[in-house]
Every structure is written in C-alpha cells, then in structure tokens.
Amino acid sequence: MTFIKVENLRKQFDPPRGIVAVDGLSFHMDEGEIYSLLGPNGAGKTTTISMLSCLLRPSGGDARVGGHSVREHPQAAKELIGVVPQDIALYPELSARENLVFWGKMYGLSGAALRRRVGEVLEIIDLTERQDERIEKYSGGMKRRVNIGVALLHEPRALYLDEPTVGIDPQSRRSILDVILQFRDRGMTILYTTHYMAEAQELSDRIGIMDHGRMLAEGTHEELVKIVGEEAHVELTVDRHLEQLATAWREMDGVARVTVEEERAILLVPDATVTLPRLFETAAAVQARINEVNVTEPDLEMVFLHLTGRALRD
C-alpha cells in the first residue's frame, strides 16, 4: 500500500530568479519499505525531505503522507512522521535524557507515557548507560544516535533520515544501519538520503537516483544496475600462455566475452563467484600462473556515471 506519494514536486528558492532545487520530482513509497534518495551534493535531497516534513512549502506539485497533503493538512501529515535532520539538531548542554524529554514534550507527550517512551528510545539507540552525560561530551556517532532517537519518540509511522551517517566511524555507522533495518522490520516506512552508494545498496528496497532536482532513474538495486549491463568485469594478468588461455575461456560456459589487452585478459562474466574458480583451474592446467585478478561488479556508481557522465562522489 502506498504510504507516501510525491507528485511533480517543485521548489524554487527566492523566485522568480532563484535556484530550482527540486524540479518536478515524482515517486512513491510503499508502507514498510526503505526508499533511498541517492545523489551528489546539491542534488536536492534535503530540500525534498524538507517539503515532505512540511518545513518548506512546495512551489509546485504536492505530496501526500498517509493520505494527508503536505500543502493542505501539514499538521496531520506531521503527526505521522519523524524527521532526522542532516545536522545534529540537539541541545549540547543538556544530557541525552534531558534532550529526549524536552523533544518528547514538543511532540505532545507528558507524564508516565513520556518517561516510558524516553526509556524505550534510550534502549533502542543503546545509550541507556550514558543517558545522563551532556551531549557535548559524546562522540559523533553517539550524537547521531540521539539525533535519530528524538525522531522516534512519538512512534511515527514514517521516518525520514537525511544523511544520518555522515562523518562517523564504521562501527557507529554499522549500528545505525542495523537500527534502521530493525525499524523497517517493524513496519516503519523509511525515507533515507545519502551519497554513499554502498549504504543505499545495502539498506534499500528501492533507490531513486537524483541530480539537479530531478529523478534520473528509480528501482531496486538489481533493476538499476541492469541499466549498465549485468556482467561483472574480470581483469586477469597471467605469466604465460595468454592467447591460449583466452581461447579456452571463450569456449567456457558462463563467460560472455573475452578481450586481450597487452598482458591482460578482460572477461565479461554474468556470475563472477561461480566462474572465477574455473578460470583458475584452466590456468593451472596449462601451468600458467594468474598474478592479478580484478573484479568489478556493476554498481550504482557506474549507473550514475552512465546517466550523468560524472562520478557520484566529488
């Protein structure tokens, strides 16, 4: 069932001459799915999230959250969503608990319900033990976790996370991604923005690739990589019998194409995990040694490069 529907959304800052940050964006999100907006800096991801959180008024188009239009019924739409901003929007002088209690009150919680919910959220973000320390003394990863925790207090049905893993260590990143996957398993609808391709690939049920305020392509990871073809590139360097081996590999099942360049053979392989061991066997049979192997699976980076002629990361 569709939970969020974005139709022809548009935002121009300081009209009429200002920059068009979002330019006719349309997509939808099903209930309980993780949808990632992937795009480089300035693509319009934050602007899109701001409009879906009713912080910015669209210049054109509309979006419905749980059936409520962000234009017509922003208050009703807001009740359904939790927003994790790109910046750490917390009070550094206050402890994690004090921050959560304050924000809980802002979401309309009070009394025993507030205390219970703050306790639960502290468990979810794994900060129960250090809840009374001031946030300013936390590591970047811990701050990010509190930043997420605040958005969970009122048990929203949808969660927007705007680049929640920027600038933190791999371990914290891992724990944040795990928490997000847990939410999805509990049926929460999640909108995630990132410019890390690997994150989008791991987390998302579907991905939208954005640039210059427009949607370039959309679909599951598999659907997207099909745009650049499905085969992995395998580059092999051998010490002898290169031509002989190339001929043998051309005959082999599971190898789509072989080209020879100087000392290397480049193979297009639909399934590298199955084919690679067999390539080594054939080499061993003619007593040739494979010195170097390079496997490049088709990925979103290649898709973005293919669609825009630019790399995703600057």
Partner 1 sequence: MRAILALTGKDLLQTGRDRLAALFTFILPILFTVFFGFLFGSSGSDRLPVALLNLDDGAPAQSLITTLERGGMVELRPYSAVQRLGLEEAVQKDNVAAGLIIPQGFGSASDANVPSAPAIVVGKMGSSGSQSVMQSVRSAVDRVLGARAATAAALAALDLDSSPGSAEFQGGLAVSEAAYEHPTVTVIAEDAGTEAGRTPRGFDLSSPGMLVNWILFSLLTAAVALVQERKTGALRRLLTTRVRGIQIIAGKTGAMLCITLTQQVVLIGLGQFVLGVDYLRNPPALLLAMFSLSLLAASLGLMLATILRSEQAVISATVIISMVLAAMGGAWFPLEITGSTFAAIGHVTPAAWVLDAFRGVILQGQGVLQVLPGLAVVWGYALLFFAVAVWRFRFE
Ligand X SMILES: Nc1ncnc2c1ncn2[C@@H]1O[C@H](COP(=O)(O)OP(=O)(O)OP(=O)(O)O)[C@@H](O)[C@H]1O
How far is 39 from 275, CA to CA, in rounded Å? 33
Decide whether 45 or 154 has the Cβ nearer to ligand X: 45
Write down how long the chain is: 314
Binding partner 1 (rule: CB under 8 A), the pick from 10, 134, 214, 250 is: 134
Question: Is residue 95 near Mg ion by the rule CB under 5 A?
Answer: no
Closest approach, Cβ 206 to ligand X, in A, equals 18
Question: Is residue 43 near ligand X by the rule CB under 6 A?
Answer: yes
Question: Is residue 87 near partner 1 by the rule CB under 8 A?
Answer: yes
Q: Are 108 and 155 in contact (CB under 8 A)?
A: no
Three-class SS state of 17: coil
φ and ψ at 28, to 5 degrees? -135, 160
Give the total of residues touching Mg ion (CB under 5 A). 3
Decide whether 89 or 274 has the Cβ nearer to partner 1: 89
Binding ligand X (rule: CB under 6 A), the pick from 29, 45, 63, 154 is: 45
Decide whether 207 or 245 has the Cβ nearer to ligand X: 207
How far is 104 from 116, CA to CA, in rounded Å? 11
Decide whether 53 or 275 has the Cβ nearer to partner 1: 53
Question: Is residue 42 near ligand X by the rule CB under 6 A?
Answer: yes
How far is 84 from 144, CA to CA, in rounded Å? 9
Q: Are strands 206-211 and 214-219 parallel, antiparallel or unpaired?
A: antiparallel
Binding Mg ion (rule: CB under 5 A), the pick from 46, 95, 189, 204 is: 46
Q: Are 38 and 311 in contact (CB under 8 A)?
A: no
Decide whether 47 or 204 has the Cβ nearer to ligand X: 47
How far is 104 from 113, CA to CA, in rounded Å? 10
Fill in the amino acid letter for 296. Answer: T
Cβ contacts of residue 120 below 8 Å, gap of 6+?
none
Question: Is residue 269 near ligand X by the rule CB under 6 A?
Answer: no
Q: Are 84 and 134 in contact (CB under 8 A)?
A: no
Question: Is residue 78 near partner 1 by the rule CB under 8 A?
Answer: yes
Which residues contribute to the site for Mg ion (CB under 5 A)?
A: 45-46, 86
Which residues contribute to the site for partner 1 (CB under 8 A)?
A: 53-55, 75, 78-79, 81, 83, 85-94, 98, 102-103, 105-108, 110, 134, 150
Which residues contribute to the site for ligand X (CB under 6 A)?
A: 13, 19, 21, 39, 41-47, 86, 195
